[in-house]
Amino acid sequence: MGKVLPRKEMPRRDPQERIRDFNEVATGFTEEEAVYEASRCLQCPKQPCVSACPVGSLIPEFMKLVKEKDFQKAYEKVREMNRIPAISGRVCPQETLCEEACTLAKVGQPVAIGAVERFIADYALKQGMAKEVRPSERGRLKVAVVGSGPAGLTAAAELAARGHEVKVFEALHKPGGVVFYGIPEFRLPKKIVEQEIAVLKEQGVEFEHGVVVGRTVTIKDLFDDGYDGVFVGTGAGTPKFLGLPGENLNYIYSSNEFLTRVNLLKAYSFPLYGTPVKVGSKVVVIGAGNTAMDSSRTAVRMGADEVYIVYRRSRAEMPARKEEVFNAEQEGVQIMLLTSPTRFLGDEKGCVKSVELQQMQLGEPDESGRRRPRPVSGSEFLKDADTVIIAIGNRVNPLIQMTTPGLETSGDEGLIKVDENGQTSIERLYAAGDVVLGEATVIEAMGTGQRAALSMHRKLTGNA
């Protein structure tokens, strides 16, 4: 291997400037930067990056096209395997997938694959290259997709690309799932999600909002209405709580409620939009995943003076992407490690005023392989807080499981059980994403959605 060129990192806005607004933090590569970074790709014959990608993105092929500045063809290559690249290019944990597998990672820094993917997708959306050509043969199968998160969007796009008539049923008034209502504007602008969905609409995918499947209609109703196949991608949107004394006090939010109020209902533009969200001056966020990072950084932007993340393990076990932890700390979020809440205390009006915390130490590894945190006795102390956000994860949405007789589930959480093709225990009913995997990632939701959609296509049309 010759001399390895240094990696170009994606530019970010200055922390002091960006905490004042909800605009995007990472500003994206210029054409020159993308071409430079793509030219670092070694074009390895074994393509370890492709094998590491849940959707099998054709990385070396699009890198070559970017290097040659053929952005139209590069975009077409990206879209062959990835139906929403402007979204995944921004939030996918590339550092533990394609970039970790990149041969250059062994001798220095991997190619900035996510940043190049984002560049191509943004370029295509801006230049209007993203218009889909509708397949000439249409309406072979009639398919219902339930849920419009990354799993549902990917499944819908794959099926529409094969000439099927696809309708997406979404409970909320906007499509996108967590990438719309959960992940904040400063990481993934709503406009980008809307533009990616517009590409699917061009492709012929129809959307119906405000339909809660399991309540407004059932899965059986959909089959009775003539749908040949139904895909379920209803995600994991039911918040988990700690079960500690005082958790019902006012201004203790689940991260779900907090982020949805801010993102979907635009509380940051109150009174322009009708839903306020009160954020005090001292905020404590419990948990250390992406949701906790998003909640803490949102609280900073909503005007909090002090924001603390409380996490019971050490930094090495924090589940959030490293980049997001870095961003949060740059923005002034403070992380209290090996610390866990024991109860919440309120004032005479029933509003939270402090959190009792205790110190932890790490013991033997638990079933997840992470060292189990144990309380240090007598280490309790009080921390003032006028807002608390519980960000310890979500359970799957249970409605379809409860209202679909014969649908098998697994585990205490009620994950929908599927075979290796994404088919459930019911013929012609497929499922993917968080509702099958438990809380996972955008790219895993896309990968499982892709596999289930292709299996449905093969099985129901008899095509290889």
**Closest approach of Cβ 5 to ligand FAD, in Å?**
28
- Nearer to ligand FAD by Cβ, of 279 and 360: the residue is 279
Q: Identify the sign of the CA torsion 324, 326, 332, 336.
A: positive
Q: Residue 104 — φ and ψ, nearest 5°?
A: -65, -25
**Closest approach of Cβ 363 to ligand FAD, in Å?**
29
**Closest approach of Cβ 321 to ligand FAD, in Å?**
6
- Nearer to ligand FAD by Cβ, of 94 and 354: the residue is 94
Q: Residue 114 — φ and ψ, nearest 5°?
A: -60, -40
- Nearer to ligand FAD by Cβ, of 246 and 447: the residue is 447
Residue whose tokens read 């635009």: 266
**DSSP strand pairing (409-410 vs 415-416):** antiparallel
| Own/partner pairs, 31-34, CB within 8 angstroms, 24+ separation | 31/69, 31/119, 31/123, 33/8, 33/119, 34/66, 34/115, 34/116, 34/119, 34/120
**Closest approach of Cβ 179 to ligand FAD, in Å?**
6
- Nearer to ligand FAD by Cβ, of 86 and 146: the residue is 146
- Nearer to ligand FAD by Cβ, of 61 and 294: the residue is 294
Q: How far is CA 212 from the centre of its chain?
A: 21
**Closest approach of Cβ 153 to ligand FAD, in Å?**
7
By the criterion CB under 6 A, which residues form the site for ligand FAD? 91-93, 146-152, 169-172, 177-179, 182-183, 211-214, 233-235, 237, 259, 290-291, 294, 321, 397, 399-400, 433-435, 440-443, 445
Max alpha carbon distance in the chain (Å)? 71
- Give the SS3 label for residue 130: coil
- Give the SS3 label for residue 271: coil
CB count within 10 Å of CB 366 equals: 10
- Nearer to ligand FAD by Cβ, of 91 and 197: the residue is 91
**Closest approach of Cβ 398 to ligand FAD, in Å?**
9
- Nearer to ligand FAD by Cβ, of 124 and 415: the residue is 415
Please give the order of strands across the beta sheet that includes 429-431.
206-209, 165-170, 142-146, 229-232, 429-431
Of 178, 412, 151, nearest to 289 (Cα)?
A: 178
**Closest approach of Cβ 243 to ligand FAD, in Å?**
20
How many helices, marked H, and strands, marked E, lie in the chain?
Answer: 19, 18
- Nearer to ligand FAD by Cβ, of 120 and 168: the residue is 168
**Closest approach of Cβ 178 to ligand FAD, in Å?**
3
